[in-house]
């Protein structure tokens, strides 16, 4: 199956907003075996929307739009598409009732008048429920082809895609061709892109026709294997063989697949093994705590943390002796160890992570340049400590430090209780 | 002047790469007074490229392409556009010599054969020098209109845009019209999109021909005023008048312009007024501390924080009496107040923010549904407390809670020492 995307919004056309929706749609559709043939962006302008959707229908017979459904945009997309299909807008009383109920639930009381128009749908359209927002998705088919209208708010678009659109398209596409494009992503951290490329030299030939892409970010390097336009079973088998070929070379820097999050993995390992976690953060300023508490259910293992930004707080809240800071400096192995021990004792946890570093742009010295970070992790009395100098901006250094802190505890959690493995320290 | 963008590449169409080039082009062109009427993305496919460029020329008479110029892509864009203009490819000996010289300079020695084709240009095209890469930009005009072909590598695209494309288009657009498109963005928080739309009803008429766009996110609603295709001075004056018209209706929910960050604003206000800041976070788990410490120089005012996720840590690290939690619950006005007082005292700060809430998806009750959050801020003994029920996912609730906590302290900082204003609590 093949279709076109039309993304709508002046802010996209003007370049004020990056078009993440187009990428999100394309990736989700490829997984469902649907090929995106063309992508068009137009402004919030009825004539431009109508022209783009009409041309897309003529070429491909199927169009997905995003944007132009909000109450302040006059529902410009809905009206333009209804025009193409010659379909009148009618009030969907069921949806209106649901909207009113939800506004009551928010404690806002009466629904603003401007939201009422969102319950008007083109005659014959299927309403796709949107619990993440107020504009429903709409699915309209007729002699000209099919149009799926989705809201432009990324969270709502993603929700509707997963819950409503992809499952229906998957069924439809599978029936027609049976060919899909599938990927698997192996996540690594602690090794650079060029080091990984050297490690995996020659592997591209061995896994052909799969392709291998390196996707570096401050969190590490993701490796994406892709099977292009294969039968579904064939793609699954080829990807499994490709992963088996690559994994042995990755060692402990591989931590999981897909969109797995390192913080979620650490929480999961802790929940299975029992110890509770506390964190002591200096240069990351709360980022590790924030990542951990982003995971639903973190409260089962995470008791809390201390953001010890000033040296006074390192002393008062974590019991780091002032003499230690004076002798070694706040960014040092000794202070990282003392922070990890202090936070575990003070907050009553068996596991802890501590980070202290120079995030920059100021504060670097020849001995401790910007990017210098000391990390410590403790687990039931065992300990790992690492010193690193991370490249990049203040933001990058902080992201890398938070990831490295979580990774240090992960390595403690997955190692047997013996000595450290031969992994690069 | 008006034109269309055609961005080319399978990785864009598949969503593996975010289309930053389209946004970059659109912004640079708007500043130069050029309006982007439509943006199309196609894959590395000669027929699709030819169709997209041809249609763009028919509609607008001018097209800028990016991508499909590299040696590994068979210069697919150059060949397709040459086809449209019926222009033969000819070797540009000057450019070939320069390329060979540069490859020597790289220390690579002989130029790979695949790069030789980059010196072939459509007859009649102007070669735009690209010192950032090997594929030159190409500018071709004929009876059908004009096409500018730019490489897809973002650094090269940006360089060519600034050095070659924008100055020429500016001259051309200026000669024709002297018109530019300019925007100003007003940031608000604490009021919903529909409430703002109701507040600003009728304002759109008063600020015409400026347009007003509502851009909602968990941080609040941004209002973008845009002056389309006006003379530069006229645009600046119209935007200033538009801002003056809107600002009085916004009241205290307006906090700044452009890409100002609320955490940076709070740090700045604290630095000017003197008090040091500490934060106590429960459901946000470190997010406020992380946002504050993302700002370079935060250490001048921020001493640190406590992530009091468990009730035991609320008691041990913040001195929140266990009886208070038992009586009112951890998510309550009383506990938020006690957290704000406790963290200021324990960490030695004159200003503090405290947040406690139910981020979900579990943990809601009929009395305290998911999204219920209590916020408190203190400043030199004065205090503000708010209870809210935020909509959205766990992530949304946390983002909204962190923003609302920062906003509460901002309101304390900007208010005179008198009683609270009439702003919605």
Which among A18, A30, A114 has the least Cβ separation from residue B23?
Answer: A18
Is 80 exceeded by the pLDDT of residue B279? yes
Strands (E), A123-175: 126-128, 137-142, 145-150
Which of A106-110, A138-142, A210-214, B236-240 is the least confident region?
Answer: A106-110
Alpha helices in A45-151 (DSSP H): 46-60, 76-85, 93-105, 113-116
pLDDT confidence tier of residue A30, bands split at 50, 70 and 90: confident
- Identify whether the C-beta of residue A386 lies closer than 8 Å to the C-beta of residue A410: no
Cβ within 8 Å, pair A361-B296 = yes
Specify whether the CB–CB gap between B133 and B49 falls below 8 A. no
**Contacting residues of A for B199, CB less than 8 Å apart:** none
DSSP secondary structure letters along B41-90: EE-S-HHHHHHHHHHHHHHHSEEEEES--SGGGTTHHHHHHHHHHT--EE
Residues B72-110 pLDDT 10s: 556 789 999 999 999 999 999 888 888 888 877 665 567
Q: Note whether A104 and B389 are within 8 A (CB).
A: no
Residue in chain B closest to A25 (alpha carbons) equals B15
In total, the C-beta contacts within 8 angstroms joining chain A to chain B are 270
A13: helix, coil or strand?
Answer: helix
- The angle subtended at Cα B179 by Cα B173 and Cα B181, nearest 5°, is 115
What H or E segment, with its residue span, contains residue B199?
Answer: helix B193-199
Q: Which residue of B has its CA nearest to A31?
A: B14
d(CA B42, CA A254): 35
Q: Is the pLDDT of residue B42 over 80?
A: yes
Higher-pLDDT residue of A69 and B407 is: B407
The residue among A305, A339, A396 with the most chain B CBs within 10 A of its CB, best to mutate, is A305
At B414, the pLDDT band (50, 70, 90 cuts) reads very high
Q: CB B38 to CB A16 under 8 A? A: no
Tokens 């989700």 — which residue?
A: A28
Rounded mean pLDDT, B361-368? 91
Pairing of strands B62-66, B145-150: parallel
Q: Does B74 touch chain A (CB under 8 A)?
A: no
Chain B 296-355, CB below 8 Å of chain A: which residues? 296-299, 302-310, 312-313, 316-317, 346-348
Would the CB atoms of A297 and B362 count as touching at under 8 Å?
Answer: yes
Within 8 A of A42 by CB-CB distance, chain B residues are 38-39
Q: Which of A19, A26, A395 minimises the CB distance to B22?
A: A19
| B242 confidence band (pLDDT: 50, 70, 90) | very high
Q: Token pair 């953001």 is at which residue?
A: A307
What Å distances lie between residue A240 and A30, A32, A214, B270, CA to CA? 19, 19, 18, 55
Output the pLDDT for position B422.
39
Q: What is the pLDDT of residues A317-365, one digit of tens each?
A: 999 999 999 999 999 999 999 999 999 999 999 999 999 999 989 889 9
Answer yes or no: do B393 and A108 touch at CB < 8 A: no
Contact A212, A203 (CB under 8 A): yes
Q: What is the pLDDT of residue B177?
A: 63
* pLDDT at position A419 over 50: no
Per CB-CB distance under 8 Å, the chain B contacts of A108 are 192
Give the separation between CA B268 and CA B273, rounded to whole angstroms.
Answer: 9
- Integer Cα distance of A341 and A353 in angstroms: 9
pLDDT number for residue B146: 96
pLDDT tier at A420 (50, 70, 90 boundaries)? very low
pLDDT at B349 over 70: yes
**Which residues of chain A does B224 touch, with a Cβ-Cβ cutoff of 8 Å?**
11, 16
Distance CA A298, CA A413 (A): 17
Which stretch of DSSP H or E encloses residue A38? strand A35-42
Mark yes or no for CB contact B286/A283 under 8 Å: no
pLDDT in tens, B318-342: 999 999 999 999 999 999 999 999 9
8 Å CB contact between B160 and B138: no
DSSP B300: G
Percent of chain B exceeding pLDDT 70 equals 94
Chain A (199-228) residues lying within 8 Å, Cβ to Cβ, of chain B: 213, 224
Q: Do A306 and B306 touch (CB under 8 A)?
A: yes
* pLDDT level of residue B6 (50, 70, 90 thresholds): very high
Best residue of B8, B11, B14 to probe chain A, by most A CBs closer than 10 Å: B14
Residues forming beta bridges with residue A388, ordered by sequence position: A373
Whole-structure pTM value:
0.76
Confidence grade of residue A107 (pLDDT, cut at 50, 70, 90): low
Q: Angle of helix B262-273 relative to helix B394-414, nearest 10 degrees?
A: 30
Flag if A286 and B288 touch (Cβ within 8 Å).
Answer: yes
> Between residues B417 and A134, which one has the greater pLDDT?
A134
Query: Which residues contact residue A19 at a Cβ distance below 8 angstroms, ignoring those fewer than 6 apart?
Result: A7, A12, A41, B18, B19, B22, B23
Average pLDDT over residues A156-171: 89
* Averaged pLDDT, A209-215: 83
Does B417 have pLDDT greater than 60? no
Q: How far apart are CA A124 and CA A310, in angstroms?
A: 63
Tell me the chain B residues in contact with residue A37 when contact means C-beta distances shorter than 8 Å.
13, 43, 48
Candidates B18, B64, B290, partner chain A, best to mutate (most A CBs within 10 A)? B290
Euclidean distance between CA atoms A305 and A354, whole angstroms: 10
Here the tokens at position B131 are: 């010192």
Length of chain B: 425
Picking from B20, B36, B55, the nearest residue to A18 by CB comes out as B20
The widest CA-to-CA distance across chain B, in whole angstroms, is: 86
Contacts of A421 (CB under 8 A, 6+ apart): A252, A415
**Could you check whether the bond before residue A115 is cis, i.e. omega within 30 degrees of 0?**
no
| Residues of chain A neighbouring B180 (CB-CB closer than 8 A) | none
Residue written as token pair 């302290």: B409
Is B373 part of the contact surface with chain A (CB cutoff 8 Å)? no
Q: Is the pLDDT of residue A155 over 50?
A: yes
- A385 at the B interface (CB within 8 A)? no
| Contact between chains at A23 and B19 (C-beta distance less than 8 A) | yes
Q: Which residue in chain B has the smallest CA separation from A22?
A: B15
The mean pLDDT value of chain A amounts to: 90
Q: For A304, which of B43, B317, B360 is closest by C-beta distance?
A: B317
pLDDT of residue B107: 59
Q: Which of B41, B216, B309 sits opposite A302 (nearest CB)?
A: B309
What rounded mean pLDDT belongs to chain B? 90
| H-only helix segments in B208-303 | 232-250, 262-273, 287-293
DSSP state of A118: G
Q: Do A293 and B283 touch (CB under 8 A)?
A: yes
Compute φ and ψ for A85, nearest 5 degrees.
Answer: -85, 0
Closest-CA distance, A36 to chain B, in angstroms, reads: 7
The answer to whether B305 and B318 have CB atoms below 8 angstroms apart is: no
Model pLDDT for residues B104-154, shown as the tens digit of each residue: 766 556 777 767 888 899 999 999 988 888 889 999 999 999 999 999 888
CA atoms within 13 A on the CB side of B81: 34
Residues of B in Cβ contact (< 8 Å) with A281: 286, 289
- The whole-number pLDDT of residue A106 equals 63
Three-state SS sequence of B92-131: CHHHHHHHHHHHHHCCCCCCCHHHHHHHEEECCCEEECCC
Structure tokens at B246: 């809107």
- Of the candidates B19, B36, B303, which has its C-beta nearest A22's C-beta? B19
Instruction: Check whether B189 has a pLDDT greater than 60.
Output: yes
């Amino acid at each position: 199956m093949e279709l076109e995307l039309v993304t709508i919004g002046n802010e996209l056309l003007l370049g004020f907003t990056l078009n993440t929706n187009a990428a999100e749609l394309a990736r989700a559709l490829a997984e469902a075996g649907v090929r995106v043939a063309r992508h068009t962006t137009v402004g919030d302008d009825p004539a431009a929307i109508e022209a783009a959707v009409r041309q897309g229908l003529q070429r491909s017979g199927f169009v997905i739009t995003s944007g132009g459904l909000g109450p302040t945009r006059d529902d410009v997309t809905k009206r333009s598409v209804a025009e193409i299909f010659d379909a009148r807008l009618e009030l969907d009383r069921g949806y209106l009732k649901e909207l009113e109920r939800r506004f009551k639930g928010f404690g806002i009381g009466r629904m603003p008048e401007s939201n009422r128009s969102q319950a008007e749908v083109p005659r014959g359209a299927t309403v796709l429920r949107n619990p993440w927002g107020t504009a429903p998705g709409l699915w309209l088919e007729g002699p000209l082809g099919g149009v799926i209208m989705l809201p432009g708010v990324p969270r709502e678009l993603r929700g509707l895609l997963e819950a409503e659109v992809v499952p229906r398209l998957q069924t439809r596409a599978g029936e027609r061709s049976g060919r899909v494009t599938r990927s698997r992503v192996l996540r690594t951290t602690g090794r650079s892109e060029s080091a990984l490329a050297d490690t995996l030299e020659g592997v591209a030939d061995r896994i052909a026709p799969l392709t291998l892409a390196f996707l570096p970010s401050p969190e590490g390097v993701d490796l994406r294997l892709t099977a292009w336009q294969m039968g579904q079973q064939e793609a699954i088998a080829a990807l499994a063989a490709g992963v088996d070929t690559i994994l042995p070379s990755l060692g402990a820097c591989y931590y999981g697949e897909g969109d797995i999050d390192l913080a979620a993995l650490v929480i999961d390992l802790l929940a299975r093994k029992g110890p509770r976690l506390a964190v002591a953060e200096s240069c990351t300023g709360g980022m590790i705590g924030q990542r951990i508490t982003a995971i639903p259910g973190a409260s089962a293992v995470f008791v809390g943390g201390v953001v010890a930004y000033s040296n006074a707080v390192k002393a008062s809240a974590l019991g780091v002796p002032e003499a230690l800071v004076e002798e070694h400096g706040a960014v040092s192995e000794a202070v990282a160890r003392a922070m990890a021990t202090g936070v575990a004792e003070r907050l009553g946890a068996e596991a802890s992570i501590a980070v202290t570093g120079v995030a920059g742009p100021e504060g670097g010295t020849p001995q401790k340049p910007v990017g210098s970070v000391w990390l410590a992790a403790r687990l039931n009395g065992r300990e790992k400590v690492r010193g690193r100098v991370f490249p990049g901006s203040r933001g990058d250094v902080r992201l890398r430090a938070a990831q490295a802190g979580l990774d240090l505890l992960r390595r403690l959690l997955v190692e047997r209780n013996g000595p450290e493995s031969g992994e690069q320290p």
